[in-house]
Amino acid sequence: MVVALTRSVLSALITTKAKKTMSKPIIGKILDADIDYNRDAIHVPIVAAVALEDLNPGEKVALKKVDGVVSAVKANTPVGVVDPFLKTPVLAGQKFYCWVKPSTVHKLWHEWTHPIFD
């Protein structure tokens, strides 16, 4: 009886730990202070874009196609942000990675779709 209970408790602990470490990360929202979040990894949709104006790392941008080229401009209703890890601004005409908001893409798995590209 004690062995069965111990196995049951151990199984519950392993299951609980797996749920903590493999949980779906919540991006773009403040995390609940009462939940024991662990580290995780995420897929972040990125697309190479040309800046139509000078942009700063982490700046919110909208994407549009100009002559078939994905381009980025500052936006109040953004679809993504300029690569937040850049050490310098992106000058108009330069190409950079735009980090696209995960909630706006469809089917994210190394290959993804987004209405602007479909």
pLDDT of amino acid 22: 46
Judge whether residue 24 has pLDDT over 80.
Answer: no
Asked if residue 6 belongs to a domain, the reply is no
- Tell whether the torsion through CA atoms of 22, 38, 104 and 86 is positive or negative: negative
In the chain, % helix, strand, coil (3-state, to 5) comes to 20, 30, 50
Cα gap 88→56, rounded to integer Å = 7
In a domain, 7, yes or no: no
Answer yes or no: is 104 within a domain.
yes
Q: Please name the amino acid found at residue 90.
A: V
Q: Of the given ranges (14-18, 60-64, 66-70, 110-114), which has the lowest mean pLDDT?
A: 14-18
Query: Does residue 26 form part of some domain?
Result: no
Domain with 61 in it = 46-113
> Look-up: residue for tokens 């779709």?
113
- How many domains, the chain? 1
Residue 41 is predicted with a pLDDT of 72
Q: What are the pLDDT digits (tens) for 48-101?
A: 999 999 999 999 999 999 999 999 999 999 999 999 999 999 999 999 999 999
Q: Is residue 86 part of a domain?
A: yes
